[in-house]
Amino acid sequence: MTANEIRDSFKKFFESKQHAIVPSAPMVIKDDPTLMFTNAGMNQWKDIILGTRDPEPRRRADTQKCLRVSGKHNDLEEVGHDTYHHTMFEMLGNWSFGDYFKEGAIDMAWEYLVDVLKLNPEDLYVTVFEGSPEENIPRDDEAAKYWAKHVPEDHIINGNKHDNFWEMGDTGPCGPCSEIHVDSRTPEQRKASGKSGRDLVNQDDPQVIEIWNLVFMQFNRKADGSLEKLSMNVIDTGMGFERLVRMLQGKHSNYDTDVFQPIIKAEQQLTDLKYVTFEEEQEAPISKQQDDINVAMRVCADHLRAVSFSIADGQLPSNAKAGYVIRRILRRAVRYAYTFLGQKEAFLYKLVPTLVYEMGDAFPELKAQQQLISKVMKEEEDAFLRTLDKGISLLDKAMELLKAEGKSELDGVQAFRLFDTYGFPLDLTELICRENGFTVNEEQFNVEMQKQKERARNAAAVENSDWVELAAGEQQFVGYDYTEYECHILRYRKVTQKKNEFYELVLDYTPFYGEMGGQVGDCGVICNETETIDIIDSKRENNQTVHIVKQLPKDSMAQFMACVDTDKRYASAANHTATHLLDYALKQVLGDHVEQKGSFVSPDTLRFDFSHFEKVSDEQIREVERMVNDMIRQDIHIDEHRDVPFDEAKKLGAIALFGEKYGDKVRVVRFGPSCEFCGGIHASSTGRIGFFKILSESSVAAGIRRIEAKTGKECEELLYQTEDMLKAVKAFFNNAKDLQGVIKKYIDEHDAMKKEIEGFQAQAVERAAKQLVEKAREVNGVKVVSAVLPMNPAAAKDLAFKIRAAVEGSLLCVLGTHADSKPQLSIMMSDDMVSDHGLNAGQLVREAAKLIQGGGGGQPHFAQAGGKNVDGLSAAVDKVMELANL
Ligand code: ATP
Ligand code: MG
C-alpha cells in the first residue's frame, strides 16, 4: 500500500465504525497562549474534553498535522539522527467523547492493525499502566483484561507513570494509557541480539518502537495535585502515520518509505551525493562521512516539511515566538546542508516542488501556496547563509587571537555569543574549531545556555490557581447582539504573572468579545448598585470569554450588569469591517492571489498582512482606497449567518483562511460582495466606518505586504493634523495662493544664492592665497606662511592647498581660522619638509590643538584640528612655528 492509500484506509475503517471524519486542525495555533503548535491530535478537542463545547458527534477520527519542537514535546535534537522521530508528522487518531471507552478503543485498534492491515500479531506488544501507590491509583487491570482477549500475557507489559500516564498539563484531564509497540527487527538482528521484543519495548531500540498510543482519560487533576473523576470519559488515540507506513511497507526507517524517498531522491540529485538506505547499510557498513550525509539528508527532508506546512498555515519565520521556532528549524536544515551536503547557497527551497507534488493532493493548502512557500524559504536561507558567513569570519578572528596568545581553547562565552546572535550551534563552532586545531569550552557554554533559559523562564512564568466555582453552567456569548447584559459570575481564579496579580472571571452571560482573530478584546465594567469593577481586557480561552479584573467584587454572588465600553467597541468593529472591505478591494485591484496572512484590529488602527509579490503602487493604493470608501458610502448592511455548516458556508462563497481553525458550524459575515468566515465583531453597516485611509504599505517578509490604515474619527484627526500643518506652512509664505509655485520659487532662489556664495568664497580664497604667498617670510630657505583669519573649515582646506600649489620649494603654512566662534588649525607643508626636515603635520597639529582645546590629525604633509577655544588660536599658530623649529 502507498502512504496515501494507508491514510485513506484509516479514515475508511473508522468511518465504518460510525466515526465522523474531520479535517486536520492547523498545525499553527493562533489563539491559545499556552500552546504554539499542535503537538497531538487531541489539541483541537481541548474545549470538548474540558466540557466547554458540545461533544456531538461523539465519535470522530482524523489525521492531524503535528509539530513537536517546543514545550512538553520537543523531538528536534533527535530528528535526522534517528529514523523514527520527526518534527512535523501526521498523527492518525480516533476519539470517543463519552461514548465507547477502553474496551471499544482496544478492540478497534486491534481489528485495524491485525485484521485490516495484517500486521503480524506476534510482533505486537502492548503496555498498561502499572499503577501509582502514592497517588492511590491501581494498575490498569481493566485495559489488561481487554488486551488479553487479543494477545498472550507475555505481550502485555507494565509501564510506569512516565510512559503510561497521560496528562494534559499541570492541571486538567488525565488518565492511564496503553501503547502499542512493533518489533520490526530483521531475522538477523533478532538472532544477533538474543533478546525478545518484550525486553526492548521502551528501550530506545530503533527497531522496536511505539506506533500507537491509546489514552483513557478518566481523571481531572486539580491545582493542589489531587485527582477527581472526570465527568465524561474520553478516548484519545494517536498513531504515528509515518511509522505505520514504514511497518506496512516492510521498511526499517521512516525515511525509506514513499513518504520521504521522493524528497531524498531530489536531494541526491541536487547535491550529487548518495543516501544509503537501511537495506544497503546492512550489506556494507557505512563510513562516518556517509553517515553525516545520511543524517543531513534526513534533517533536510524532515525540516522541509515542517517549514512548508507552517508557512502554508500562515506562520512565517520571524524573530519571536512561533515564528522564531520555525526560523530555528529552517536554520538547522541550512546548517546541515551547508556543513555536510556542501550547499553554500540556498538549497531547501529547491525541494518544495517535490514536496508539493507528493503531498499537495492530501493537503491542498500546500499546492495553493507553493509560490509563497518557495519565496519565503529562499529569502530565509539567503539571510541565514549571510549570517553564517559573518559568524565564520568572527570565529576566524577569534581563532587568530587564540593562536597569537598561544591558547588552544575557545571560551564558552564566545561560543555562546556566536550561538545567540549568529545562530551558530555549538556543534558547528566545535567542528570549525576542530578543523583548525582548537577546542571549545563546552562547560562554560552550557552555563551560559542555562542562564539564558532561566531568564526566559522567569519572564514567562504564569501561575494559575484553581477555578473557584460559584455556579454550574456554561457561558453564553451575547456580544453579537448586545453591549450590556445581566450576568452572574460562574467562576473565577487568581493569576500571577511577573509578580502582578489579577483575576479572571467567567460570566454566565457576556457581551464581551475576548481577543481573537486579530481583534482586540473588549474592556468595560461589571456593575450593580453597590459596586463597579473595571474589566481591563477580555481574552478567549477554551471557547469562552475570560474577563480580566484587578480586584474581585465584594459580593461575587451578586447580579451584575456587564457593560462593554462602546466607544472602543464601535471603533474596533468599524476597523474590523474595514479589513474585510480592504481584503475584497485588494483582490479586485491586485488579483486573486491575495491571501490574508494576518491582521490586527484595535479601536485606533488596523493592520492587514497579505501575500503579494511586489510593492503596491501609489495608483493601486488610491484605487483600493476609492473602492473601500465607495462601499462605505453605499452603507451596506451586515448580512450575518450564524451556525452555518462549514460546507454550506463555502457554497455561500465565503472566504476561509488557510491555517484558521473552524468548527463544524461557522459564522459567515457578508457586506455586499465581501463574504468571509468570521467570528469577529462588526459594524452594523459599512457607513459606520465613516472613512478609510491607508497610511502605509510595506514589506514584512518575502512575498508578504502589510497595509496600515485608519478609519472614521482617527481619519478626522489625521485630516486636522494635516490641515494645521498646511496652514502653518502657508503662513510662512504669507498665505500665498499658489503655495507649490511659491515654495518652488524659494527653492530655486536658494539654490542660485548658494551657488553665488560658493563663487564669492572661491574668489576670497583665491585672493587670500595670493596675499599670504606675497607676504610669506623665508626662514633658513623655507617659505613660511602663517595667519589667523575668519573662514569656514572647508574654505580653510581649500586655501591651504592653493598656497601649496602657489609656492615653489620648501613650504610651511600654518592657518588659524574661525567661523561661528569655532577655531580650526590647518597645517600644510611641502613634501621635502616631511622627508628632509622630519616634520609631521599630524603630530604638530595634535600638540598645538591643545591650546584651542581641540584635537585632530591627518597626513604627514597636511593635517587639521578643530577646537573650542577661539582665543587660543594665535597662540596655537605660534606653537606650531615653535615646534617646527626651522
Ligand atoms: P516516542 O516515545 O516514540 O517519542 P511518544 O510517547 O512521544 O513517542 P505519543 O505522544 O504517545 O508518543 O504520540 C502518539 C504517537 O505519535 C506515537 O505512538 C508515535 O507513533 C507518534 N509520534 C510521536 N512522536 C513522534 C515524532 N516525533 N515523529 C513521528 N511520530 C511520532
Ligand atoms: Mg516522544
For residue range 256-312, list pLDDT tens digits in order: 999 999 999 999 999 999 999 999 999 999 999 999 999 999 999 999 999 999 999
Q: Which ligand 1 atom sits nearest the alpha carbon of residue 78? A: 27
- pLDDT at 33 (0 to 100): 73
> Is it the case that residue 172 has pLDDT exceeding 90?
no
> Is it the case that residue 370 has pLDDT exceeding 90?
yes
> Is it the case that residue 658 has pLDDT exceeding 80?
no
User: For 740-765, what is each residue's pLDDT tens digit?
Assistant: 999 999 999 999 999 999 899 899 99
Task: Give the residue among 761, 803, 760 at the shortest CA–CA distance from 783.
Answer: 803
Distance 214 CA to ligand 1 centre (A): 12
- pLDDT at 164 (0 to 100): 96
- pLDDT at 127 (0 to 100): 97
- pLDDT at 294 (0 to 100): 97
Q: Are the beta carbons of 62 and 93 closer than 8 angstroms?
A: yes
- pLDDT at 839 (0 to 100): 93
- pLDDT at 393 (0 to 100): 84
What own/partner pairs with CB < 8 Å and gap ≥ 24 does 266-272 have? 266/350, 266/351, 266/354, 267/297, 267/300, 267/301, 267/341, 267/351, 268/297, 270/347, 270/350, 270/351, 271/337, 271/341, 271/342, 271/343, 271/347
User: For 74-125, what is each residue's pLDDT tens digit?
Assistant: 899 889 999 999 999 999 999 999 999 999 999 999 999 999 999 999 999 9
| Parallel/antiparallel/unpaired status of strands 208-221 and 227-240 | antiparallel
Tell me which residue has its CA closest to atom 12 in ligand 1: 213
User: How many C-beta atoms surround the C-beta of residue 778 within 10 A?
Assistant: 11
> Is it the case that residue 700 has pLDDT exceeding 90?
no
> Is it the case that residue 847 has pLDDT exceeding 90?
yes
Distance (Å, rounded) from C-alpha 181 to C-alpha 159? 12
What are the pocket residues of ligand 1 if the criterion is a CB atom closer than 6 Å to any ligand atom? 68, 75, 85-86, 89, 91, 209-213, 238-240, 242-243
Query: What mean pLDDT is predicted for residues 659-671?
Result: 86
Q: Which residue has the cell 582548537?
A: 438
Confidence at 853, pLDDT banded by 50, 70, 90: very high
- pLDDT at 31 (0 to 100): 74
Q: Distance from CA of residue 5 to its chain's centroid? A: 35
Distance 428 CA to ligand 1 centre (A): 28
Distance (Å, rounded) from C-alpha 237 to C-alpha 234? 10
Question: CA neighbours within 13 Å on the CB side: how many for 850?
Answer: 7
- pLDDT at 82 (0 to 100): 95
Task: Give the residue among 237, 238, 258, 262 at the shortest CA–CA distance from 248.
Answer: 258
Distance (Å, rounded) from C-alpha 298 to C-alpha 293? 9
Tell me which residue has its CA closest to atom 11 in ligand 1: 213
Smallest-distance ligand from the CA of 204: 1
Q: Which ligand 1 atom sits nearest the alpha carbon of residue 73? A: 7
- pLDDT at 650 (0 to 100): 86
Task: Give the residue among 882, 790, 786, 774 at the shortest CA–CA distance from 829.
Answer: 786
Predicted structure pTM score? 0.76
Q: Are the beta carbons of 220 and 153 closer than 8 angstroms?
A: no
Distance (Å, rounded) from C-alpha 344 to C-alpha 817? 56
Cell of 512: 464581551
The whole-chain average pLDDT of the chain stands at: 93
Query: What mean pLDDT is predicted for residues 349-368?
Result: 94
User: How many C-beta atoms surround the C-beta of residue 418 within 10 A?
Assistant: 25
Across 384-523, where does the E strand assignment appear? 409-410, 439-440, 462-464, 468-469, 476-477, 484-487, 489-497, 500-507, 509-510
Residue 224 or residue 811, greater confidence? 811
> Is it the case that residue 210 has pLDDT exceeding 80?
yes
Distance 181 CA to ligand 1 centre (A): 11
- pLDDT at 457 (0 to 100): 77
Distance (Å, rounded) from C-alpha 241 to C-alpha 258? 12
Confidence at 222, pLDDT banded by 50, 70, 90: confident
Query: What mean pLDDT is predicted for residues 395-402?
Result: 91
Q: Which ligand 1 atom sits nearest the alpha carbon of residue 163? A: 6
Tell me which residue has its CA closest to atom 19 in ligand 1: 240
What own/partner pairs with CB < 8 Å and gap ≥ 24 does 603-606 have? 603/520, 603/567, 603/568, 603/569, 603/571, 603/572, 603/575, 604/571, 604/710, 604/714, 605/575, 605/708, 605/709, 605/710, 605/714, 606/575, 606/576, 606/578, 606/579, 606/582, 606/708, 606/709, 606/710, 606/711
Q: Are the beta carbons of 330 and 299 closer than 8 angstroms?
A: no
> Is it the case that residue 169 has pLDDT exceeding 90?
no
Mutate to test the pocket of ligand 1, among 88, 243, 247 (most ligand atoms within 8 A of CB): 243
Smallest-distance ligand from the CA of 40: 1
> Is it the case that residue 165 has pLDDT exceeding 90?
yes
User: For 487-526, what is each residue's pLDDT tens digit?
Assistant: 999 999 999 887 789 999 999 999 999 999 889 999 999 9
Residue 756 or residue 421, greater confidence? 756
Distance (Å, rounded) from C-alpha 261 to C-alpha 277? 10
Distance 73 CA to ligand 2 centre (A): 6
Q: Which ligand 1 atom sits nearest the alpha carbon of residue 211? A: 20
User: For 614-638, what is each residue's pLDDT tens digit?
Assistant: 999 999 999 999 999 999 999 999 9
- pLDDT at 532 (0 to 100): 96
* CA angle centred on 525, ends 522 and 529, rounded to 5°: 160
| Parallel/antiparallel/unpaired status of strands 811-819 and 782-790 | parallel
Query: What mean pLDDT is predicted for residues 36-64?
Result: 92
Distance (Å, rounded) from C-alpha 30 to C-alpha 378? 25
Distance 19 CA to ligand 2 centre (A): 27
Tell me which residue has its CA closest to atom 25 in ligand 1: 85
> Is it the case that residue 32 has pLDDT exceeding 80?
no
Query: What mean pLDDT is predicted for residues 236-257?
Result: 97
Smallest-distance ligand from the CA of 86: 1
- pLDDT at 141 (0 to 100): 96
> Is it the case that residue 550 has pLDDT exceeding 80?
yes
Highest mean pLDDT of the ranges 380-394, 497-511, 650-664, 681-695: 681-695
Q: What is the DSSP letter of 319?
A: S
User: How many C-beta atoms surround the C-beta of residue 610 within 10 A?
Assistant: 23
Confidence at 390, pLDDT banded by 50, 70, 90: confident
Q: Which ligand 1 atom sits nearest the alpha carbon of residue 209? A: 3
- pLDDT at 392 (0 to 100): 84
Distance (Å, rounded) from C-alpha 105 to C-alpha 236? 9
Q: Work out the percent of the chain whose per-residue pLDDT is above 90.
A: 80
Residue type, 344: K
Confidence at 474, pLDDT banded by 50, 70, 90: confident
Output the CA torsion 547→548→551→554 (10° steps).
0
> Is it the case that residue 696 has pLDDT exceeding 90?
yes
- pLDDT at 680 (0 to 100): 94
Task: Give the residue among 295, 293, 255, 260 at the shortest CA–CA distance from 277.
Answer: 255
- pLDDT at 706 (0 to 100): 96
Tell me which residue has its CA closest to atom 13 in ligand 1: 238
**327 SS3 class:** helix
- pLDDT at 192 (0 to 100): 92
Cβ burial 794-825 (10 Å sphere, 16+ → b, else e)? ebbbbbbebbbebbeebbbbbbbbbeeebbbb
Instruction: Please count the helices (runs of H) and the strands (runs of E) in the chain.
Output: 27, 38
Q: Work out the percent of the chain whose per-residue pLDDT is above 70.
A: 100
Query: What mean pLDDT is predicted for residues 440-448?
Result: 94
Distance (Å, rounded) from C-alpha 484 to C-alpha 510? 8
- pLDDT at 171 (0 to 100): 84
